[in-house]
Structure 1
Amino acid sequence: MSEVLRAALVIARRDFSAVIFSKTFILFLLGPLFPVVIGMAFGGLGEKITTESLRPTIGVAMTAADGGRMERAHRILSARMGAENLPKLQRAPKGNPRTLLTRPDARFIAIVSGSVERPILTGKSGDLAALEGDVSLLASAALAGERLPHVQVRKQLVAASAGAEAQSRLLTGRAAQVLVFLLTMLLAGMVLSNLVEEKTNKVIEILAAAVPIDAVFLGKLLAMLAMSFVGICFWGSGIVAGVKLLAGPDIAPPTPAVGWPVFLLLGAVYFTMAYALLGSLFLGIGAQAATVREVQTLNMPVTMAQMGIFFFATYAVDHMGSAPEIAAIIFPFSSPFAMIARAAQDASIWPHLLAIIWQACWVAVIIRLGVWLFRRHVLKSGQASGGRLFRRRSAVVK
């Protein structure tokens, strides 16, 4: 066993150095940052469009006096409620409201006519149902005029709120689940492409001739795991620096139930468990494939199954102590995601010790299964290989 471990560390050091010092690793590190930047840019643009351009516009076809009262009420309510929570008002030309709405140059969803005391809202059925309450509020404020009361709210500060704290911890658990899942799916898939490339170049056969095949499997798994932590440290540092720069140094994220040091430690452990489980499966799958197309075909069912497991774990977050959460904790592939969410909401440590031991046992089982598949298929190449999953029929020449 010690010889296998030493050989595995040699293979891990070889693969780790080859990946870390390659030119493409920089692009790999920077790659996930581009979607984040683009998402933030488009998110801000989309919010601006939603709050400004997509707000419904109501045409005001009233007398000048009543129209001015409605606009004044709109300004007062916008200052108190926020302009994005009210439809826009615009003076409509004189004429029949039905005719005005059918004009090609009309930009109104509905038109309010009549008087402030008796407003008449003209428009389609769905628009009337959505805008009736807003028009009623504006007309009521217009009737009150300068007498519109402004009640001063008295504030009482509390040091903590159990409801707000529980909600923030729930959000922290969900965010941790999503982060662990995305990192696992993003980083575990690299094992497949690396393995197929080395099989094509016959590097695997050279390694297997020098060290036990079990050591090759474990070495590759350890190398990809170490490379994953390098990427996580880089991305985590970038996120922390970005938050501090954009949100200011006084930003304080909600504290998980177990505290941030223990939570981060558990996050690293659960990511390791999830990566070892999925990475072992991917290595076993990659050993049966000889081309990238076969890898993609085999990868899809595993990815879809893992997404279903993740959705099951996210459902269990809201039901702590229930049967779904217990099932998610017991099932090995969903256990890391369920337990990291529990760490954000429950301060007890002993469930995590039991869960880590349980997951470690399953990691050993899955690794043994992956080693068996790896040993059985990795050295068999070519179209005539009996170990290949996708075997082509060779033409028979008579």
Structure 2
Amino acid sequence: MPTIDSNTLCINGDRLWARLMEMARIGATAQGGCNRQALTDLDKAGRDLFVQWCRAAGCGISVDRMGNIFARRAGRDDVLPAVITGSHLDTQPTGGKFDGVYGVLAGLEVIESLNDAGIATEAPLEVVVWTNEEGARFSPAMIGSGVWAGAFELGYGHNRADKLSLTIGEELARIGYLGEAPAEARPLKAAFEVHIEQGPILEAENRQIGVVTGVQGIRWYDLTLTGQPVHAGPTPMTVRRDPFMGLAPILQRLYALAEAHGPWARVTFGDIRAEPGSRNTVPERLVVAVDLRHPEQSVLDELDAAFRHLVEEEATRLGLQSDIREEWHSPAVAFDSRCVDAVQQAVDALGYSHLRMCSGAGHDSVYIARVAPTSMIFVPCEQGISHNEAENAAPEDLEAGANVLLHAMLHMANS
């Protein structure tokens, strides 16, 4: 097979798109999205297809105790630390075709394109599928990469349960992805993740590539407000201890707090549960999921303190009990300068318009960055929509991001 100059090498955009569309048929929804939640039968089908493609590309496959899949292309010096890339195949219940899966299949396309061109790398390359990145079925998010990077114990990961009390460990065994390899970090040369932006900035700025320098800090909480359950009809408004009366000003004050720390602060209330949940009874208890984010850790800590203070104030004023349980804390991350530079050099060499930016969403790279030099690459998505069946990305942008990934990985593997 004739070799091709690595400086002019590009990925096969048509093949990447075709595989994205084939994977999207697994768990396809009526509105054009995907419902392929972690460790379901559909997730198994997606994993099986990925493994099939990787084996056909000559990769060795290993699966660790958290179900993380590693597809390895040998290097000339195969004992060198690998350069890895990857993301996840699981989706939100009403997710899209590209979140996560693009980063996995772009990594496979890098390997396929190197195979086609007859180009070997000095260090080995690996494509990784991380387990339960979304946190939709099992909380918290990014649990597979978190265990691997040492943020969580293996037992904690295996014992996380869904709403039916099925655990990650049980479901890994059921679908055949409870692997034998240790779920723990090993030396790596570099790690990259390419992803749709999941926000509107690149599209608004008319830029094709985001050179990602870090990730916002994230804190997840369960806020519980407890009052008194009474009849909806006979009980006057003035004597009620109604948790919703406390929640309303808390929401308003948190929105105002995010605005005061704009433009990068974020607050979201993604789930609410009323107990006992009867139409004609004032609830005894409200449990509200709260998500706070900011790219500067010091500001995120300020938001945390202010949140706790205002909850206590409003609960005391209305005679309610309050409790704040922190479900998850992912500190703000600054990516490795050498990996960011490798991405920047690839963008410059390929001539793509770009923007240096921080990620507003959490990704597996947050945990990988704790144990290995890491960075990310973003491409635009239509109207910034993600975690939605309407999620869309242009084939030419997906191809551009995969080309940047290819050249960044080549640079690090051969340097």
Larger radius of gyration: 1
Higher strand share: 2
TM-score over 0.5 (shorter chain): no
Higher helix share: 1
TM-score with structure 1 setting the length: 0.23
TM-score with structure 2 setting the length: 0.22
